Amino acid sequence: MLALAFLVSYPTVSFSHYDRAIAVFDFGSQYSQLIVRRIRELGYQALLHQPNQIGQIGNPSAIILSGGPRSTAEPDAPDIDFQRLMAYGVPVLGICYGMQLLNLKCGGRIHPGTTREYGPALLRPVVSDGLMAGVTDSQVWMSHSDTCERPASARVLAENQDGVPVALQWDDRTFGIQFHPEVSHSEQGGRMLANFLAMAKDPAPFEIGAFKDRLVAETREIVAGRPVVCGVSGGVDST
């Protein structure tokens, strides 16, 4: 990400507010930045946020909750304000930990695992619409130990090779998947992400030139001719 550090006394300003962006909430997954990259590769603006920033994301067109290394069974497990999340009225996708968190919020249960499932698994869609439109039996990448017990009202979208549900839909705009669609090991992960983004509410397009021009314009407005020290980091949209 492009980072600006202002080492003077005038106010700092966040560059993370873009209307109609896909808001990705980071729950500590090693793949959180990769989710943002995959969305941008599909042509949409995406921005990464922390869960405590749920009220500071402007007007998102869709929301994704990332995976993470923690268990929802832990007393201090990462959480998010579910009422605020749903108040945006946009499609929501939970990935791995994000799915488990949504399952709890939607009335399901989580069963802590004693061993970690890490590696390839077989995805078998049981529906052919929505998130699974055009998706066939294929390999996906798992990285979890806990499992979801869905509420009776939840719809199963896909199972693994053992018949265990690994993709759920709780209502017409809330989805969860127990695997990582953003990694290349998930053979049809890009299709599933594209299916989800097709549900987004008028998503903002991503084009690196326009992104750069906006940052330059905002920086000039903030700095207004005063001296500034700028630190540039590497990342998916750096120089």
Tens digit of each residue's pLDDT (9 = 90 or more) over 52-89: 999 999 999 999 999 998 888 888 999 999 999 999 99
Residue scoring higher pLDDT (129 or 233): 129
- Average pLDDT, integer, range 187-212: 91
Determine the pLDDT at residue 117.
67
CA atoms within 13 A on the CB side of 139: 9
Residue 11, pLDDT above cutoff 70: no
Query: pLDDT tens-digit profile of 129-172?
Result: 999 999 999 999 987 667 888 888 999 999 999 898 999 999 99
Residue scoring higher pLDDT (232 or 183): 183
From 21-35, 56-70, 180-194, 218-232, the region with the lowest mean pLDDT: 218-232
Instruction: Check if CATH label 3.55.40.10 holds for domain 22-203.
Output: no
Percent of the chain with pLDDT over 70: 87
Residue scoring higher pLDDT (18 or 56): 56
Percent of the chain with pLDDT over 90: 64
Residue 16, pLDDT above cutoff 60: no
Residue 159 near residue 122 (C-beta atoms within 8 A): no
Structure tokens at 119: 């590696």
Pairwise CA distance, residues 180 & 177, whole Å: 8
Query: pLDDT tens-digit profile of 115-125?
Result: 666 779 999 99
Residue 48 near residue 15 (C-beta atoms within 8 A): no
Give the catalytic positions in this structure.
96, 180, 182
Q: How many CB atoms lie within 10 A of CB 55?
A: 9
Query: pLDDT tens-digit profile of 22-61?
Result: 999 999 999 999 999 999 999 999 999 999 999 999 999 9
